[in-house]
Amino acid sequence: MPERVHKYLDGGSKPMKSATTRDNEVTIDRLSGSKKRKREHIDDNLPARPHSNAPSSGSLASVEGLSKGFKPTSLTSAKGYELQPQLTNGSTTQQSLPKSRPGPNILANQSIRSPLKARANALWPLRKALPVWSHASEIRQGLRIKDIILLVGETGSGKSTQVPQILAGEPWCKSRPVTLENARQTVNVGGCIAITEPRRVAATTLARRVAEEMGTPLGSSSPASKVGYSVRFNNSTSPCTKIKFLTEGMFLQEMLRDPWLKQYSAVIVDEVHERGVNVDLILGFMRNIAAGRLEGRGGIPLKVAVMSATAEMERLGNFFEEGYVPSSNGVDPEENKSDGSESEWSGITSSDEERGTADSQGKQPDQLPHINEKQPKKSPHANGGQSEKSCAHVATCHIEGRQFPVTINYTPEPVQDFVNAALRTTFKIHYQEPMPGDVLVFLTGQETVESLESLVNEYALGMSRDVPKMLVLPLFAALPQAAQQRVFQPAPPRTRKIILATNIAETSVTVSGVRFVIDCGKAKIKQFRTRIGLDSLLVKSISKSAAIQRKGRAGREAAGQCYRLYTEQSYLDLEPSNTPEILRCDLSHAILTMKARGIDDIINFPFLDRPPREALEKALMQLYQLGALTDTGAISEIGQQMATLPLTVSLGRVLIAAAEPELDCVSEVIDIISCLSVENIFLNLTSEEKKEEAQLARRELYRREGDHLTLLMTVQAYAAENADRKAWAERHFVSHRAMQAVMDVRKQLRAQCQQSKSLKGKTPRQITPELATSLLKCFLKGFATNSARLMPDGSYKTIVGNQTVAIHPSSGLFGKKVEAIMYNEFVFTTKSYARGVSTVQMDWIGGALGV
DNA sequence: GAGCACTGC
């Protein structure tokens, strides 16, 4: 049953009328009722096209002044904190104080001496009003008694900023000297709290905010700073850091140096519901440490807080409880009896095992025999046994969020063309809903965003002059930074912003001012097919939790509305949550990460969601072939080196090979690898004219050996440009933003290779054919299995697997026929493509494969 | 003659 929409102007008595609708009641079923119609048709909800003669009848009473209360928008992080202009240079929080912020008079005397403290005091009432504060003692108490707490907190509960501060003053949160079992030396354990975040912006903005709230300088700006952060390319901590925000990747990197996390008393794992690969690894490591013997920490417990926005409490709870269950085999009898709780937990364990098996069977019909999940635990640590036997090891706490209600509208019939449906809904909202209130449309990709953009703009030209204007703003990751920023700028008066976004707006970016969300119900999702080593990127239905997340974007500042361009039944049929990334990606990097941190038995690692055995074995095999693992499956010296590199396993292997004396091309390989690990550096041009122009401009960069050498030429030319690199990039139709990222990665890799002595300071060399050959042979050390040969019919077939593969049109070798090719990526879109392609000789491939 | 959602070290 479609919801009827009655909307009236703020404070006005007249119904808001659509310029072309006949009455003030509009049902959304018009959306689908006209699905067969061509877009050219002038729908009831659409204004006349400019070239059409249809008069735009109807009037909008008193639209003047509707935008009066319009709230200027600002760039906010995923956490909703305003990003101050000084964001990137990261200092002087006091300068970024908005002048309008009322300072409390009672603190006036202090504020003269310490602006930091004054600011902190001013923020105090805001903090106290956060929903999380009513749970502060519950959280403290939970972690005093137990070592693990699960916090489910909806958006706006304040958990990411407050929980670290709530815990920082706890008696267990201090540095203590201990003597380790095997070593005689005394080390300090604990004192600091780590908070992991999936994204860099979140880590830096949260750190800045918490520093402000605590009245302490941020990070490395002062040796007395208590709050810091650590993200790639930017580490800002002090000797006094007590609370440290890290990206998940950085945290795993720290674990490489210290698997026992000795500097930390607690680890807070934030945004667990997003379920990236890294967070799954962290959860497994945390379970092993928290429930283990803590021998590497001198017996001092590691407190763990797991924070999630969705209530997967039960699963997470079971997951951690299982860590304490002594496995029935391989455990000392003496230790077994020390814990009487085994039988109590067996119920939880088996039910979870059943569910886990059922889950995986849904996707993989012929599953291998069930693998025992339980780690062979030697004994629960000291705290576990002494508290009440009936009490579990995991505390839980539910924190309510702060979200305004959002009305949901479904279509009565399935929608075929969601771009068309989104177009109609956008105008329907624009005509019927009062200002202010921006519209956020979730689409699948650049293509759908751009096509809706031109459609909306086209129809908007035909709107009556009484109607507020529309400002259409595309938003996707590949969009140049300046264009992305437009989304955050306030709209001109009497203008409604229509933001057309990919799922970048679901988590990474928050736009304020949005009161209407249109959700097409689809997204592009990447899936790795283990058997053929192929990555595919396909449009799929989103999950229920993603639909809820999208809906929530309408209710952040006021009550809002969400228009789902699908039926209620389709919503009910959606998968409950996103498939965790670990079940749909290449596992080689994850496994190398585990091996390098001392996990020998991958099959028995505690995965929250266990990848199919086939995927694990495939990844182990790849690592073995690359020389990262020995015959026994232990990590090799090469594997250890690879794990420290911020690269995929294949690229890491190439970089290590480059230092071999007979190849000796580290500097050049770094240049190429930096490009391959960054988004496309060549601008995607749409018009034929521009394309030809670009081809001409890039001619001096082009190398006939293929894309690898072309990238090298480009980096060298860019790096040699000392006058104006931006202008250079523009002249050559190269993305300046991408090149800046390339230079960051290049700098990091060069520093790392200088440290390991594999890179000696050398000036750039002339790229001779001999050097080119060395480089390509070097890349084959990591990519021999990514190679294909030319068949008599002119197609290419992969050497391993005999799959047909075509050279991607973005490659310089597109349409060329050569003996054999090596490629960086094997992707499926409309068909199987090789991207990042160079020509190689068959005997090189044979040599690299060891045939 | 195609087209790439989004993170991260």
A788 and A728, same structural domain? no
Angle of CA points A739, A740, A742, to nearest 5°: 60
For strand B, which residues in window 263-282 of chain A come within 7 Å by CB? Answer: 276
Is residue A570 a part of any domain in this protein?
Answer: yes
Task: Report yes or no: A342 and A326 within 8 Å, Cβ to Cβ.
Answer: yes
Q: SS3 of A717, please?
A: helix
Residue A47 confidence (pLDDT): 65
Distance CA A209, CA A218 (A): 9
Is residue A201 a part of any domain in this protein?
Answer: yes
Is residue A123 a part of any domain in this protein?
Answer: yes
One-letter amino acid of A228: G
Residues in chain A: 851
A111 and A17, same structural domain? no
Pairing of strands A186-189, A176-179: antiparallel
Q: Which of A530, A554, A581 is the last residue of a domain?
A: A581
A749 and A799, same structural domain? no
Of A472, A453, A560, A426, whose CA–CA distance to A18 is shortest? A426
Task: For residue A445, say whether its CB is under 7 Å from any atom of strand B.
Answer: yes
Residue A327 confidence (pLDDT): 52
Nearest nt to the CA of A679 via C1' is B4
Residue A112 confidence (pLDDT): 53
Pairing of strands A534-541, A522-529: antiparallel
Is residue A453 a part of any domain in this protein?
Answer: yes
Nearest nt to the CA of A231 via C1' is B9
The two tokens of residue A847 are 């040599």
Q: If you search the block for the tokens 């080593």, which residue do you land on?
A: A533
Is residue A180 a part of any domain in this protein?
Answer: yes
A796 and A721, same structural domain? no
Task: Report yes or no: A256 and A596 within 8 Å, Cβ to Cβ.
Answer: yes
Of A452, A31, A485, whose CA–CA distance to A439 is shortest? A452
Instruction: Please name every residue paired with A397 in a beta bridge, in sequence order, or none if there are none.
Output: A151
Distance A714 CA to B2 C1' (A): 23
The two tokens of residue A111 are 């504020």
Q: What single-letter DSSP state applies at residue A367?
A: P
Is residue A212 a part of any domain in this protein?
Answer: yes
Report in angstroms the alpha-carbon separations of A210 from A82, A114, A203, A373, A398: 13, 17, 11, 38, 22
Distance A606 CA to B5 C1' (A): 29
Is residue A623 a part of any domain in this protein?
Answer: no
Of A553, A577, A448, whose CA–CA distance to A505 is shortest? A553
Task: For residue A503, say whether its CB is under 7 Å from any atom of strand B.
Answer: yes
Q: Classify residue A720 by burial, with Cβ atoms within 10 Å: 0-12, 13-18, 19+.
A: exposed
Of A415, A522, A410, whose CA–CA distance to A34 is shortest? A415
Task: Report yes or no: A522 and A444 within 8 Å, Cβ to Cβ.
Answer: yes
Task: Report yes or no: A213 and A160 within 8 Å, Cβ to Cβ.
Answer: no
For strand B, which residues in window 301-360 of chain A come within 7 Å by CB? Answer: none
A34 and A16, same structural domain? yes
Task: For residue A645, say whether its CB is under 7 Å from any atom of strand B.
Answer: yes
Chain B bases closer than 7 A to any CB of the protein: 1-9
Angle between helices A649-658 and A666-676 (to 10 degrees): 160
Q: Closest protein residue to B1 using CA and C1' atoms?
A: A809
Residue A92 confidence (pLDDT): 34
Distance A232 CA to B8 C1' (A): 9
CATH, residue A316? 3.40.50.300
Contacts with A276 (C-beta within 8 Å, 6 or more apart), sequence order: A198, A248, A581
Residue A185 confidence (pLDDT): 80
Distance A108 CA to B1 C1' (A): 70
Q: Which domain holds residue A484?
A: 4-47+404-581
Domain count, chain A: 5
Nearest nt to the CA of A523 via C1' is B5
Task: For residue A646, say whether its CB is under 7 Å from any atom of strand B.
Answer: yes
A258 and A178, same structural domain? yes
Of A631, A627, A634, A621, whose CA–CA distance to A586 is shortest? A621
Q: What single-letter DSSP state applies at residue A273?
A: G
Q: Closest protein residue to B2 using CA and C1' atoms?
A: A809
Widest distance between CA atoms in chain A: 90
Task: For residue A430, say whether its CB is under 7 Å from any atom of strand B.
Answer: no
Residue A759 confidence (pLDDT): 83
Residue A684 confidence (pLDDT): 75
pLDDT < 50 stretches in chain A: 1-42, 51-111, 328-391
One-letter amino acid of A260: W
Q: Which of A554, A581, A608 is the last residue of a domain?
A: A581
A302 and A224, same structural domain? yes
Q: Classify residue A280 by burial, with Cβ atoms within 10 Å: 0-12, 13-18, 19+.
A: buried
Is residue A82 a part of any domain in this protein?
Answer: no
Nearest nt to the CA of A479 via C1' is B4
Residue A48 confidence (pLDDT): 64
Report in angstroms the alpha-carbon separations of A457 from A105, A423, A451, A460, A471: 51, 10, 10, 5, 8
Task: For residue A432, say whether its CB is under 7 Å from any atom of strand B.
Answer: no
A713 and A683, same structural domain? yes
A794 and A768, same structural domain? no
Q: Closest protein residue to B9 using CA and C1' atoms?
A: A646
For strand B, which residues in window 462-491 of chain A come within 7 Å by CB? Answer: 476-478
Task: For residue A651, say whether its CB is under 7 Å from any atom of strand B.
Answer: no
Distance A739 CA to B2 C1' (A): 24
Task: For residue A201, say whether its CB is under 7 Å from any atom of strand B.
Answer: yes
The two tokens of residue A497 are 């912003």
Of A80, A118, A93, A120, whose CA–CA distance to A213 is shortest? A120
Residue A78 confidence (pLDDT): 40
Q: Closest protein residue to B8 using CA and C1' atoms?
A: A249
Q: Which of A757, A779, A801 is the last residue of a domain?
A: A779
Q: SS3 of A655, please?
A: helix
For strand B, which residues in window 561-590 of chain A come within 7 Å by CB? Answer: 589
Task: Report yes or no: A594 and A562 within 8 Å, Cβ to Cβ.
Answer: no
Contacts with A744 (C-beta within 8 Å, 6 or more apart), sequence order: A233
A758 and A654, same structural domain? yes
A812 and A765, same structural domain? no
A231 and A352, same structural domain? yes
